[in-house]
């Protein structure tokens, strides 16, 4: 409970390090998402996207919020945009691959993860996702076929 009070005081009282309202709005939205307040965070991310629709970070944050609100189609679209806008964004590749896999788009998920690993060959999350996708592919190819 103490940490919630500290977070509340930090956001309500402001911070000398915040140079403008947009920066403080972004940081507040990120905190809200971190606290699991995805709908409230998403409202802020979407308002900020009105000003900067091609901002890869904003598209990423909005996408992850959509993911946790069970809107995989919108998460997929925004993550595609984020990796297109900024190819050197490992978190976007990871989440895009994850969303694709959960949307039963295994081949596209593997392709996206491989592209992310091309840029970030030592990224642990991408490596784990690639392993999981390969394991799923191997299990599907080894599954016995139905006898006729």
DSSP secondary structure code for residue 14 in this structure: -
Cβ(97)–Cβ(112) under 8 Å?
yes
Give the CA count within 13 Å in the CB-facing half-sphere of 113. 25
Read off the pLDDT of residues 28-63 as tens digits, 9 standing for 90 and up: 999 999 999 999 999 999 999 999 999 999 999 999
- Could you tell me the pTM of the whole model? 0.77
> Helices 56-68 and 90-102: crossing angle, nearest 10°?
30
10-residue block means of pLDDT along the chain (148 residues)? 39 36 83 94 96 94 96 97 93 96 94 95 95 88 62
């Amino acid at each position: 409970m103490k940490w919630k009070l500290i977070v509340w005081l930090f956001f309500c009282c402001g911070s000398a390090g915040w140079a403008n309202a947009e920066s403080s709005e972004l940081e507040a939205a990120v905190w809200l998402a971190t606290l699991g307040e995805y709908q409230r965070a998403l409202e802020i991310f979407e308002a900020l996207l009105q000003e900067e629709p091609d901002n890869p970070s904003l598209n990423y944050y909005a996408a992850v919020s959509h993911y946790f609100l069970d809107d995989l189609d919108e998460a997929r679209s925004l993550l595609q945009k984020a990796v297109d806008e900024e190819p050197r964004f490992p978190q976007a590749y990871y989440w895009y691959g994850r969303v694709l896999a959960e949307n039963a788009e295994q081949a596209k998920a593997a392709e996206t993860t491989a592209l992310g690993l091309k840029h970030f060959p030592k990224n642990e999350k991408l490596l784990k996702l690639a392993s999981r996708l390969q394991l799923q592919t191997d299990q599907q190819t080894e599954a016995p076929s139905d006898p006729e």
